[in-house]
Amino acid sequence: MKVSTIIATLVLSGMVIVSPHVFAQQPVQRDYPYVFQIAIKSDNRLWINVKGNYQNVHGCTPWFAASDVTLSDDRARAWLQIALASYLSKTRVYVTTLGCISAPDGGPQYPKIIDLEIEMTPAPTP
């Protein structure tokens, strides 16, 4: 049986085997207990770590994640406020990442933050 026949048979039967890294470029949102560390590095990006580290969904080093924009962007400044609120109150955060970004020193690749949300608990009714 030819390789092309085998591939066609697998595709038609829905049995396509795909590398997990094919999906690495899809935005992924995960929730984490709270922000554990915050840094602004020489690349002027917001770098945060969460309690328990990030889930390794993009194939990046999971210890920190960096904003996809610098602090000159309003989104990064808003994310800094959200990160600080989570850090101070130990409130759950929802981090959306997309791919990886290089460390400013040329070191390993880290998840790239494209959105950051904090869990809001409704105030008790009087």
Residue at 7 is within a domain: no
Residue at 124 is within a domain: no
Write a three-state SS string for 29-86: EEEECCEEEEEECCCCEEEEEECCCCCCCCCCCCCCEEEEEECCCHHHHHHHHHHHHH
The whole-number pLDDT of residue 5 equals: 42
Residue at 12 is within a domain: no
Task: Domain count for the chain, please give it.
Answer: 1
Residue at 3 is within a domain: no
Instruction: List per-block mean pLDDT (blocks of 10 residues) for the chain, which spans 126 residues.
Output: 42 45 72 95 94 85 91 96 96 94 88 94 68
Residue at 14 is within a domain: no
Residue at 79 is within a domain: yes
Structural domain that includes position 30: 24-118
The whole-number pLDDT of residue 90 equals: 95
The whole-number pLDDT of residue 116 equals: 96
The whole-number pLDDT of residue 62 equals: 81
**CATH for 41:** 2.40.50
Nearest-5° Cα angle at 20, 18 to 24:
120
The whole-number pLDDT of residue 123 equals: 63
The whole-number pLDDT of residue 16 equals: 44
